[in-house]
Amino acid sequence: MTTAPATFVKGLEGIIAAQTEMSYIDGVQGVLEYVGIAIGDLAKHSTFEETVFLLWNKRLPTKGELESFTKQLRANYALPEGMIERVRSVPTSAEPMHMLRTMVSALSMHDASPNENSVEAARVKALKILGCTPAIVAAFDRHRRGLEPVAPDTSLGFSANFLYMLNGEKPTEAMTRAFDICMITHADHGLNNSTFTARVVISTLSDMYSAITAAIGSLRGPLHGGANEGVMKMLNEIPSVDAVEQYVMDKLARKERIMGFGHRVYKAKDPRAAELMTLAEQLARDTGNMDLYTKSKAIEKIMEREVGSKGIYPNVDFYSATTYHCIGLKLDLFTPMFALSRIAGWSGHVIEQLGDNRLFRPKAEYVGPHNVAYTPMDNR
Ligand code: SDX
């Protein structure tokens, strides 16, 4: 039994609430490693499937292991019987993140042993959820456009298959690689709010589906994964690069947050933002969206001048917005993309928590009154 610190730390800032072997973050130097490998190296050389294997197995796969893992994941692309009807029953006006949270929760009802929490069973559930959530998002977007769902193609990798199911045609190599880099860079990130949420839920020995559902609820928040949609709305609001200075200065003067900037841990540029910036520039050039990129760079320069000294720099969401837009994704699908990738991290943390569990139960410091008499209704 360890003695807990007596003081109340708002937002648990700086408190270590778990140990992990998946992500290492140095917020001062701006370093992110997955199992010791720098995110830049993974973004350049790895694939999402290989990165998921790395996170779940704490090492890179051999060629044979990657082939077999890829096969297992592809065997889970298809939705369970009845799920498509359930997606079709969702109002077309529903927000995709509310839909995704609801559908992932529904997946538990198609699992013969949803509460089975052995590490092996948790891995099987993780593969199921990671494998078929792309089909859920793609089927819902096509449904709301009045289109039939496109069945997954198990000859395609995770990223190509998602874009194929969404658009009804095979994506180009360039778009597939760009999307894969987004999936790699969003896969895990220490004890962020949604990952902490997943660990808190599974620490009661609940189940993988409840943990991932809760994590999706957390990620939707604009202070967390929802920021990438806010970045795109901001870029669309600014009429031209000449208007950037006034726009940013006005927001800062009103003490408003610039979406895609700042971070609880990073006080330097988020290394994922650096990778996604390069990708955003290349895609913006290729797709005639250079205005988005030039506006983004102008915002970054002003923010560096105005708040860089406070450690406020671009985070993962700032350039992912332009990247997703150039890939052709609708704005309200940006955060669901974050979720598709982060399911890898969330489920990895659920498995870590199950491997060495202790129920999360912090304390609240009572600051209310004591010895208050009960006042009968007639005297109130
Ligand atoms: C993600 O935790 C993770 O790892 C998350 C994530 C992951 O991979 O899981 O990295 C993904 O969620 C990235 C963050 C996405 N969110 C946003 O981009 C939303 C905008 N950012 C902020 O709301 C904010 O920066 C947070 C929430 C991300 C972090 O905020 P903190 O650590 O609670 O910092 P704070 O609110 O105490 O702010 C400190 C100061 C304040 O100024 P003062 O009151 O001291 O004068 O910095 C200012 C804030 O006003 N500030 C900003 C700002 N973020 C902080 N000012 C302008 N714009 C911003 N974006």
Average pLDDT, stretch 326-348?
97
Name the residue at shortest CA distance from atom 14 of ligand 1: 224
- Cα–Cα distance measured from residue 85 to residue 63, given in angstroms and rounded to the nearest whole number: 38
What average pLDDT does the segment 175-184 reach? Answer: 97
Q: What are phi and psi of 33, to 5 degrees?
A: -125, 140
pLDDT of residue 121: 96
The terminus-to-terminus CA distance of the chain in angstroms comes to: 45
Ligand 1 and 261: CB distance under 6 A = yes
- pLDDT category, 6, cuts 50, 70, 90? confident
Query: What does the pLDDT look like over 104-115, one tens digit per residue?
Result: 999 999 999 999
For ligand 1, whether the C-beta of 69 sits within 6 Å is no
Distance 254 CA to ligand 1 centre (A): 16
Nearest CA to ligand 1 atom 57: 257
Helical segments of the chain, H only: 39-45, 48-57, 63-74, 83-88, 96-107, 119-144, 158-167, 173-186, 193-202, 208-219, 227-237, 244-253, 271-287, 290-307, 316-327, 334-355
Structure confidence at residue 4 (pLDDT): 59
Where do the structural domains in the chain lie, given as residue ranges? 23-221+340-355, 227-327
Residue 192, ligand 1, Cβ within 6 A: yes
18-46 tens-digit pLDDT: 999 999 999 999 999 999 999 999 999 99
Q: Residue 352 has which token pair?
A: 């870590």
Angle between helices 208-219 and 119-144 (to 10 degrees): 50
pLDDT tens-place string over residues 201-257: 999 999 999 999 999 999 999 999 999 999 999 999 999 999 999 999 999 999 999
CATH superfamily of 227-327: Cytochrome P450-Terp, domain 2 (1.10.230.10)
Task: Give the helix/strand (H/E) hosting 32.
Answer: strand 31-34
Distance from residue 201's CA to the centre of ligand 1 (Å) = 25
At 81 the three-state DSSP class reads coil
Among 5-19, 150-164, 167-181, the minimum mean pLDDT is found in 5-19
Rounded alpha-carbon distances, angstroms, from residue 274 to 16, 169, 183, 296, 302: 27, 30, 15, 13, 17
Nearest to 131 by CA among 343, 285, 317, 374: 343
- Mean pLDDT computed over 322-329: 97
Overall average pLDDT of the 317-324 stretch: 96
Query: Averaged over 61-81, what is the pLDDT?
Result: 98
Average pLDDT over residues 56-80: 98
pLDDT digits (tens, 9 = 90+) for 341-352: 999 999 999 999
- Positive or negative torsion for Cα 184, 116, 20, 35: negative
**100 backbone dihedrals φ, ψ, rounded to 5°:** -65, -45
Closest to 133 measured CA to CA, from 281, 340, 357: 340
- Kindly list the distances between the CA atom of residue 29 and the CA atoms of 24, 38, 40, 287, 316, in Å, as whole numbers in the listed order: 12, 13, 14, 33, 15
Atom index in ligand 1 nearest the CA of residue 188 equals: 8
- 197, 214 Cβ separation under 8 angstroms: yes
Identify the bridge partners of residue 63 per DSSP, sorted by sequence position: none
Task: Return the residue matching tokens 């039994």.
Answer: 1
Active-site amino acid positions:
263, 317
| Res. 2: pLDDT tops 90 | no
Q: Write the CA distances from 3 to 12, 89, 108, integer angstroms.
A: 16, 51, 38
| Alpha-carbon dihedral angle through residues 238, 244, 246, 252, given to the nearest 10 degrees | 90
Kindly report the protein residue whose alpha carbon is nearest to atom 12 of ligand 1. 224
CATH 1.10.580.10 fits 23-221+340-355, yes or no: yes
Pocket test for ligand 1, best of 261, 265, 343 (most atoms within 8 A of CB): 261
pLDDT, the chain, mean: 97
Kindly give the number of the ligand 1 atom that is closest to the alpha carbon of 11. Answer: 33
Q: Please tell me what DSSP assigns to residue 7.
A: S
Residue 1 has what pLDDT? 59
**Would you state the pLDDT for residue 187?**
98
Please give the full DSSP string across 154-167, using - where no structure is assigned.
TTS-HHHHHHHHHH
pLDDT-wise least confident of 5-9, 183-187, 245-249, 295-299: 5-9
Q: Using DSSP bridges, classify how beta strands 23-26 and 31-34 pair: parallel, antiparallel or unpaired.
A: antiparallel
Does the pLDDT value for residue 3 go beyond 80?
no
336 touches 97 (CB < 8 A): yes
Residue 193, token pair as written in the block: 């709010």
pTM for the model stands at 0.96
